[in-house]
Structure 1
Amino acid sequence: MAEPVTPDRPSAPTPDDVRRALGRVLDPEIRKPVTELDMIGDVVVGPGGAATVGVKLTIVGCPAADTIERDVREATASVPGVTDVTVDVTVMTKDERHALTEKLRAGRAARGMQFGPETLTRVYAVTSGKGGVGKSTVTANLAVALAARGLAVGIVDADVYGFSIPGLLGLVGPDGASVKPTRVDDMILPPVAHGVKVISIGMFVEDASTAVAWRGPMLHRTIQQFLTDVYFGDLDVLLLDLPPGTGDVAISVGQLLPHAEVLVVTTPQPAAADVAERSGLVARQTGQRLLGVVENMAGLPQADGSVLELFGSGGGAETARRLSAGQEAEVPLLASLPLSLGLRQGGDDGVPVVVASPGDPAAAAIDALAGSLAVRARGLAGRKLGLSVS
């Protein structure tokens, strides 16, 4: 006869109890519960509370293997009555991997556009008229600040020639090479840093010093593949770090994502408004909407409270004024980011300043910008809802 359950003697744990606890374990790359992804095999709980859990990794050498095993062990051990945990790690069969990719696509065809006109994801293309204005640094920090506010965020590093997003977010190994994405059949799972899913051509080259010398068609196919074969899941925000200027990639992004909204990054130098304006005009020609201007390197705060304007002043406001001329809707100056040693250091260390030093003036300005973007709802106007009236 089974012993009665008393307050001092809780009921014995069951496999269902363990599975419910495992529902809190997320795959670090896919960001969904391992139970929902069918990554949990047999769960057995012995009479004495010893639990054995089968875990099926997506591929051999899965980079998230240690994290998944640790989280499964901790979740199982948290179940009342479990006295010991054994995690039996195996790898999915070919059929199981195929079933997983089909589940993740949720009916979307392989190599289908994830962020087309029907998407509810806010797509922001970050551009600049010329290099060296901090466009990639703004993109990386803005993405992390948005993720910190609870949004699901992804970055496409579309600056194929000058890729820098992996380094800015710390997605590099001890050898200096970028962390590689995981491939599950023909689906690419992007690495995650600071809660942001990231894909970059830097993840497919031998090392960070490798030069990419491609013509327009190859650039177009690369950006297209990033937007189709990479599994980002249901994002609230997708940021694209565009190369400076008005070349092939800017045109390709305009063709592939004509509904994207554009953030123009410039500096306070009045002369910078000339080149910054051009990048905004190209975006407008492809049908994209100009969301606003971000002024970087706006001044260096001094100990006495004054600001040293190393790069002049007024460039951001002038860019916004020029882009607003003749338009029904004003193009605003959304943010003015002060010069910051912490912002530069964070980029070198791979830890964005919004994480490493949230009290830094530049971090505060970026967080304020993220706050204004985070409250913009994903609109349903003009989108098909897939409903029919019978």
Structure 2
Amino acid sequence: MPSPTSRRRTSCDLGLALAAALGAAIALSCGGQESPEAAAQRRAARPEHSSPTTYVEALAMLDAEIREARSLAGIEPDDSTATARLVSWSDLELLARLCMRRARLSGNVKDWLAARDALDAALDLAPEGGGPTLTRAELALALHQLDDAERWLATARRAPLHSAGALERMEAIEAELARGRSDHEGAAQRYGVGLPFAPEPPPEGEGAPAAEALRAAREGLLRREAGDYDGARAAFDRALARMRAGSTPRHQQTLAWLALQRGLVEWETGNPKEALRYYQGAHAAFPDWWLVTEHRAEAHAALGEHHEAISLYRQALDHSHQPELMDALAALLQQHPDLQISEGEAGHWRRLSKTTQIERERVLPELARAHDHTRG
């Protein structure tokens, strides 16, 4: 029953993606050094900005921040390269991190390529061995380029001085590299959750709920990957409880992601009905996110509710053109040709899936292979 592709997509680079979602709350409350991404989140928290409560709103806000960052970096709206107006590589790093946030939300390959282009330009401007090497390592990790991530991490470590925030990011990259190589014990040790996840004193202060949620989510993911589903349930339940205790509207996407992860535990243990309950909770927290919609569709299909599944797959494809979504929809339409919008719709999605996957493999082969559902 588990879908290898959807599992990889929803759990990839947890330490980086989830820490990015929670990092601003932890950093600001604990007085740590603020990363470029946290700075962007802080700007978005100004009174004149509203907090996104849906996927569509979140994309619109990110697009506005990206436009602002491109302008700051001296990049024209229709140009992907820096112009002579650029004064600092850090401006391009900020742009890259915003594009990475958008990519994690949208799943759009173009967003990953935009992040890579911005970082390449930043590294060209930075002194040798300096610049956004850590961010480049994080990007390589997100793209499943583990060897590249390790090389960029090594470059970053050679810098003479490191802030506390940089050291934390390095440890997260090390942990995710271990996860990527199926070294769950090594990942757990680097994340500080340890095996067998001995309890630690809870953190204190305003950022405590977010910090506890981050630690519990890391534990939940590692336990699930190790096949300890009861332990994963307890950890994700704890993460959800802590996030709800300290939640603000700006945490809605994180709540949705945690509910999705909790649902995946039920899905992987053969409980689609219970999985769907958590997926519905994720949708309620952060409506219209294609990633959640995909899993709702998958659960409905497993329950034999094919009409609802087809409708949801179509909704997901309105927001993200993932080949695996196209193939799932095509398979259902082949089973139920009377539900096609037009004759030959199933074949249309099959062909589009194939051409989309081929293009992915051309521009980002490691990412394409990691998400290729046809490989099992």
Q: TM-score when scaled to structure 2?
A: 0.28
Higher gyration radius (CA)? 1
Q: TM-score when scaled to structure 1?
A: 0.28
User: Hey, which of these two has a bigger chunk of helix by percent?
Assistant: 2
User: Hey, which of these two has a bigger chunk of strand by percent?
Assistant: 1
